[in-house]
Structure 1
């Protein structure tokens, strides 16, 4: 189900991908968008927290739940991508900035798309990060710093536009998918598991 990209989508995309570019973001955004880097940082943070608190099992259980909801969110994106077949901006439009082989490039002004199908809608990165950050924030909602995790999906969503991988509507759609998966999984987790992860007793 192919669909045309509305003008507001293109305009907002080029604001991020072109007008608001700078050398610092050229370095930062590929790292923010790299799943291995982000999950590696998360694992390090959890290891440090576990070492300081001595509570390995609750934190590990929480990490498993986060990985589970992110994985389910990724799976939920696949049939949507298959249905819509939307081309990524870097494969659909001229003048788009993108990274290839570790170097920044830009499509020429006379660029003509050679692909007819793609996997732009929805953004799995946006969906997975929303689901994972949301799960962490819900599990440890009494920790003020955990609320900052809600910024993560927005940073990752921004990076997908900056890298030319997605349109704003792709990212918004991904956030909605991630939120929906998060809500379903959260309702399915037994209360005793949530209390265990939080370090609460049955009477708390």
Structure 2
């Protein structure tokens, strides 16, 4: 039994506090859709505003030279080593680096190191600045990262993409990507057994353990998969950039909402992001190797 579980049992006389789930009302659902639309519009506006700067940067002599050298180096490697080996090695390095970040956060949480020292202070600071209007926005935002919403969005978009491409690849990608991340979160939550913040601080219902944040990990993977599927449907680079930036903004917003609502510590959210990014990198690497062998 972990020290958190023991403390929780001693103080509460049972397992971590459980609350009934609050239903998603019609008004909250509409507000969630409005927030999603605002995130996409913001991402598109940012991409459009940065296009001139990106074009100027891409035309600089040193950028062109660096790109040429990079391609030459990659060609040199692929002549001597199979391209699959090069991609697998580079991908493995990225996965290991991301996994190391998650392990560092996990160690800090389990050992109650400096990284967790600000957890309580941040939650208290946000709690002192809550307003009814902001709380409604945060609840609508956090709903975008719920399992029901993510599974529905990713499944529907994967089916549409599969029909357009006449391939089961998008569906398999969605099932493995989102299903795998949610399984990892569930297993790690039980293994670490970190209690959530004190129930009086929670503005919405939440069950189970706290680390890592399932909303944070699943939203990163889910929004990332949506951006990935968009890239499979078009070659428009502006759309690509908009999709990935919107995914990043949405992920950040959902994670922040979990801390504001008092159902997760900041380190839970950081751990969820690190875990989600690691899993998404694993799926991307596996997909690339599979496509090269197909």
TM bracket (short chain): 0.5 to 0.7
Question: Which structure is higher in helix share?
Answer: 2
Select the residue among 137, 145, 164 that pairs with 2:227: 137
- TM-score normalised to structure 2 length: 0.49
* C-alpha distance in 1 between matches for 2:248 and 2:194: 27
Q: 1:67 to 1:14 in 2, by over 3 A?
A: farther
Select the residue among 85, 91, 99 that pairs with 2:204: 99
Q: 1:43 to 1:20 in 2, by over 3 A?
A: farther
Unaligned runs of 5+ in 1: 102-117, 195-204
Select the residue among 135, 139, 153 that pairs with 1:26: 135
Q: Is the 1:10–1:167 Cα contact (8 Å) retained in structure 2?
A: yes
Q: Is the 2:150–2:222 Cα contact (8 Å) retained in structure 1?
A: no
Across the aligned residues of Structure 1 and Structure 2, the Cα RMSD in angstroms comes to 3.3
The match for 1:198 is none
Q: Does 1:62 align with 2:170?
A: yes
Q: 1:37 to 1:82 in 2, by over 3 A?
A: closer
| Shift in Å, 1:153 | 1.4
Q: 1:138 to 1:37 in 2, by over 3 A?
A: closer
User: 1:11-32: CA deviations, max 9, x gaps?
Assistant: 122233x133222222222222
| Shift in Å, 1:78 | 2.1
**Residue correspondences, number:** 170
Q: Is the 2:150–2:219 Cα contact (8 Å) retained in structure 1?
A: no
Unaligned runs of 5+ in 2: 5-109
| Shift in Å, 1:67 | 4.2
Which SS does the other structure have where 2:285 is aligned? helix
The match for 1:160 is 258
| Shift in Å, 1:74 | 1.1
Moved over 6 A (4+): none
The match for 1:106 is none
- TM-score normalised to structure 1 length: 0.67
Q: 1:64 to 1:129 in 2, by over 3 A?
A: farther
Which SS does the other structure have where 2:204 is aligned? strand
- Which of structures 1 and 2 has the bigger CA Rg? 2
User: 1:152-189: CA deviations, max 9, x gaps?
Assistant: 21111112112221100001001111111111111111
